[in-house]
Structure formats: structure tokens, C-alpha cells
């Protein structure tokens, strides 16, 4: 890391903080892959990494390279925009595929019934 | 003019972004960027987009700020669910939300917002009935979510796109 | 002082991302169902992309940015294709 010394002190602290925050949020999200139960709960886990995790790490990278080159380099905005646009598509397709498979195998009923349940038919279950 | 440049504002933004990303103002990048800007406009016309008919810029800024706050807040909420011990007590489930929004751009933006706030997932939208199906990680009160999506996001998206 | 902090925080961030990748890989290998595996693969791609950006900061070379962009693109296309396969291919394992 020879270039680390070229960064001003405040920038090094900022890059370090952004990196740790981003990596930590991504780690928490991926821990959710282990700790949450069932596919539909786990499908929420990667969105932590694709929102704030990506935003912080892209911010750290932008800050670092902009200062090293001493001009604003915003290439990471491409990654951030791309990830924001594509995550809804992938997760929507995956959840729909999972719903389709569960319906075909017949064990979706309790999932949907719990969601559709109105306060009146609580005792029916 | 309108045939060559159906969306002048978007084409100009594309050219500006291309020049910024290539970090130069010489002839080559300007020519290539103009080509991509023109092609971007034609592509949008092929998709029969009404993207240029965006109004109410103050609502856009308001919505962007709101979404930023919500993203941070729900990141913290989902993070604490994952790390906390109460993960077995949460109930997650599907919520049906009747929407008034029909504009395709508005729905696309709504899908991005809903997926970018962890804890909610866009599952299905039926155009005929206008019902949006969501999956919510921590579902306490269904009507609260209907209120939240309709009141916070849909109202402003209707102002912007319709 | 500050460059030492940066060096160490990059190392720690890389270790955290490596653990995150391991979690995603566990879900991909263990399942239990095919959609869980695809979800694990998608998470693995996102984490690998972030790892590439971190490696880029560590080495100070912007080559890794392009690698990260390629990983993001491939992850999107791959996951969409696999989700489509889950819908249209075999229905019951």
C-alpha cells in the first residue's frame, strides 16, 4: 500500500470508515443468509449488501481514486446505478420462481393463508 | 428535429455523463458520446417511453430525500433483526396493496424503491386489477404497510409521473 | 498514522467480505432448495464485486474497477437466467 501515504490524513480516515461500514453492513446481510428461516425471509438478506454496503464501498473507492488522481472520478456511480436497477429484477424473478415452485408442489397454502388472513378467521387456523 | 432527437434532455445528460466518465473534452469522446446520446434517444422512442413527461422537480427531490432516509432506517432495522435474538419471533408474509399508479416509469421507480429498502420485496403487480403484492420481512400490521407505500411513495410518484 | 489505519481497515474489510462470501457460498452449497442456492449465488456475486472494489483500493490500481463491473453484469445475467430456469425448466426436484 505505497499509495496510502499519498492520501491526506482526513481522507484516509474517511476511506477507512466508509470501507469498514460498507463491509460490515454487507457481512450482516450475508449473515442473514445463515440466520433467517425459510427462503422468503432469506431473500431479504442480500438487499443490505446491495444498498448501503455497495454505496459505502463505492463511496470509499470514489474518494480514494479522486484524491489520488486529484480530479473527480465517478466511475463507481455506474456500479451503484447498475446494482440499484438490477436488484429489483433479480429478486422479483427469484421470489416469483420460488412462489411458482411452491405452488406447484402444494406447500404454498400456509404461507399465503397467513398473509391473506383477516383478523376474523384467526381461530380457524 | 423530433425524429432525430426525440428526448433532447436525456440525450444531453447521456453526453454529459459520457464526457465525465471518459475524463476528456477532445474530439473523439465528444463524437462517440454524441453517437451514444442519439442512440439512447432512439432506443427510448422504440420503447415508447414517456420519460420526458416528468414534472414537479420539487417532488423528485422530496422523494429522493425520503427514500434515502428510509433506506438507512430499514437497513438498521433489518440488521438488528438478523443480529438480534428475536429472529424467531418475527412473522413475515405477503401484503396486497391496491395501487392507483399506472405509469410504467412510475412503477419501475417504485420497484427500485421497494427493493432498495431492505425488509420489503416486490413480488407481483397485476396490471388489470392494479394490485401490488409485496413480501414484508417484519409484518406487524398489514394496513400500516398499505398506508406507508401509498402515502409515502405512491402519492409523490403520482405527482411526478401523472 | 493515518496510512496505517487505512492499511489495516482495508485488511479488516477484506476479511469481513471474505466471511460474507463464505456465508453466501454455504447457502449456495447447502441449499436446501434450488431457489436458496440461486439466492446464495446472487449474494456471492455481489460480495465478490465489493471485494474487487476493496482490492482496487488496496492496490491503488483502477483495473479492478472494470473487474467489479464485469462481475456485476455477469451476476445479474446469471441470476436472471437461473430464475427463468427455475420457472420454466423442471418444476419439481
DSSP per-residue codes, B142-155? HHHHHHHIIIIIIH
- Place B134 in a pLDDT band, splitting at 50, 70 and 90: confident
| Complex ipTM value | 0.86
pLDDT of residue C42: 92
CATH of C2-88, one of 1.10.10, 1.10.287, 3.30.200, 2.30.110: 1.10.287
Whether residue B21 lies within 8 A of chain A, CB to CB, comes out as yes
3-state SS class at C68: helix
Alpha-carbon distance of A31 to A118, in angstroms, equals 33
Whether C50 sits inside 8 A of A46 (CB atoms) is no
* Rounded Cα gap, residues C56 and B112, in angstroms: 28
Once rounded to an integer, what is the mean pLDDT over residues A106-110? 61
Question: Are C2 and A9 in contact (CB < 8 Å)?
Answer: yes
In this complex, which of A13, A23, A60 lies closest to C17 when CB atoms are compared? A23
Query: Best of A29, A43, A47, A62 to disrupt the B interface by mutation (most B CBs within 10 Å)?
Result: A47
Chains A and C touch (3+ CB pairs under 8 A): yes
Is A42 in contact with C1 (Cβ distance < 8 A)? no
Q: ∠ CA(A89), CA(C72), CA(A59), 5° rounding? A: 105
As a whole-number percent, the residues of chain A with pLDDT over 90 amount to 14
- Across the range B108-134, mean pLDDT stands at 86
Is a pLDDT exceeding 70 seen at residue C66?
Answer: yes
User: How far is residue C90's CA from residue C86's CA, in Å, rounded to a whole number?
Assistant: 7
Q: Determine whether the interchain pair A92/B95 forms a contact, defined as Cβ–Cβ distance below 8 Å.
A: no
Any idea where the domains of chain B sit in the sequence? Answer: 8-46, 57-161
Whether residues C60 and A93 touch (CB distance < 8 A) is answered with: no
pLDDT at B54 over 70: no
Candidates B20, B78, B115; nearest CB to A74: B20
Q: Taking CB atoms and an 8 Å limit, are A43 and C39 in contact across chains?
A: yes
Report the 3 state secondary structure along C20-47: HHHHHHHHHHHCCCHHHHHHHHHHHHHH
Please tell me which residue, B162 or A42, carries the higher pLDDT value: A42
Kindly report the nearest CA distance between residue B74 and chain A, in angstroms. 9
Residue range B39-55: average pLDDT? 72
Q: Where are the domains of chain C?
A: 2-88
Cβ-based contacts of C21 with chain A (< 8 Å)? 30
Residues C28-60: tens digit of each pLDDT? 998 788 888 999 999 999 999 999 999 988 888
Asked if B82 and A36 count as a contact pair (C-beta separation under 8 A), the reply is yes
Q: Inspect the interface and report whether the beta carbons of B78 and A40 lie closer than 8 Å.
A: no
Physical contact, C and B (3 or more Cβ pairs within 8 A): no
Mean pLDDT, rounded, of chain B: 81
Top pLDDT among C93 and A101 is at A101
Question: pLDDT value at position C51?
Answer: 93
- Does residue C15 surpass a pLDDT of 90? yes
The residue with greater pLDDT, B127 or C24, is C24
* Half-sphere exposure for C14 (CA within 13 Å, toward CB): 14
Asked if the model's pLDDT at residue B76 lies above 60, the reply is yes
Mean pLDDT score across all residues of chain C: 87
Q: Looking at residue C90, what is its pLDDT?
A: 55
- How many Cβ atoms from other residues are within 10 Å of residue C26's Cβ? 15
Identify all chain B residues contacting A28, using CB atoms and an 8 Å cutoff. Answer: 79, 82-83
Test A31 with B82 for CB contact under 8 angstroms.
Answer: yes
C45 neighbors C75 (Cβ within 8 angstroms) = yes
> Is the per-residue pLDDT at C93 higher than 70?
no
Q: Do C80 and C36 meet the contact criterion of CB atoms below 8 Å apart? A: no
CA distances from A27 to A46, B67, B143, C4 (A): 10, 23, 32, 23
Q: Which three cell numbers stand for residue A21?
A: 461500514
- Choice between B71 and B52, residue whose per-residue pLDDT is larger: B71
**Angle between the A76-105 and B104-116 helix axes, to the nearest 10 degrees?**
90
Amino acid at each position: 500500500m505505497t499509495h496510502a501515504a499519498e492520501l491526506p490524513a482526513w481522507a484516509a480516515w474517511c476511506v477507512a470508515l466508509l470501507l469498514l461500514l460498507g463491509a460490515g453492513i454487507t457481512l450482516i446481510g450475508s449473515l442473514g443468509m445463515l440466520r433467517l428461516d425459510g427462503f422468503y425471509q432469506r431473500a431479504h438478506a442480500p438487499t443490505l449488501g446491495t444498498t448501503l454496503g455497495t454505496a459505502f464501498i463505492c463511496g470509499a473507492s470514489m474518494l480514494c481514486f479522486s484524491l489520488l488522481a486529484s480530479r473527480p472520478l465517478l466511475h463507481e456511480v455506474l456500479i451503484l446505478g447498475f446494482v440499484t436497477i438490477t436488484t429489483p429484477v433479480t429478486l422479483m424473478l427469484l421470489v416469483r420462481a420460488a412462489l411458482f415452485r411452491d405452488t406447484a408442489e402444494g406447500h404454498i397454502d400456509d404461507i399465503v393463508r397467513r398473509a391473506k388472513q383477516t383478523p376474523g378467521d384467526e381461530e380457524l387456523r | 428535429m423530433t425524429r432525430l432527437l426525440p428526448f433532447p434532455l436525456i440525450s444531453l445528460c447521456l453526453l454529459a455523463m459520457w464526457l465525465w466518465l471518459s475524463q476528456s473534452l477532445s474530439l473523439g469522446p465528444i463524437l462517440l458520446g454524441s453517437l451514444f446520446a442519439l442512440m439512447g434517444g432512439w432506443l427510448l422512442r422504440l420503447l415508447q417511453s414517456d420519460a420526458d413527461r416528468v414534472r414537479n422537480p420539487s417532488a423528485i427531490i422530496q422523494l429522493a430525500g425520503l427514500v434515502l432516509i428510509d433506506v438507512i432506517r430499514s437497513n438498521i432495522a433489518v440488521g438488528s433483526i438478523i443480529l438480534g435474538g428475536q429472529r424467531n419471533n418475527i412473522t413475515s408474509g405477503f401484503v396486497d396493496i391496491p395501487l392507483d399508479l399506472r405509469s410504467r416509469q412510475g412503477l419501475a421507480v417504485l420497484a427500485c424503491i421497494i427493493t432498495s429498502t431492505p425488509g420489503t420485496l416486490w413480488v407481483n403487480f397485476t396490471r388489470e386489477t392494479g394490485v401490488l403484492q409485496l413480501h414484508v420481512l417484519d409484518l406487524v400490521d398489514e394496513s400500516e404497510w398499505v398506508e406507508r407505500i401509498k402515502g409515502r411513495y405512491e402519492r409523490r410518484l403520482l405527482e411526478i409521473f401523472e | 498514522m493515518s496510512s496505517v489505519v487505512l492499511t489495516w481497515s482495508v485488511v479488516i474489510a477484506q476479511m469481513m467480505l471474505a466471511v460474507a462470501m463464505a456465508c453466501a457460498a454455504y447457502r449456495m452449497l447447502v441449499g436446501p432448495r434450488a431457489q436458496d442456492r440461486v439466492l446464495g449465488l446472487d449474494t456471492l456475486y455481489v460480495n465478490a464485486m465489493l471485494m474487487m472494489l476493496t482490492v482496487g483500493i488496496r492496490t491503488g490500481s483502477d483495473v479492478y474497477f472494470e473487474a467489479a463491473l464485469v462481475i456485476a453484469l455477469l451476476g445479474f445475467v446469471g441470476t436472471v437466467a437461473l430464475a427463468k430456469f427455475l420457472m420454466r425448466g423442471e418444476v419439481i426436484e
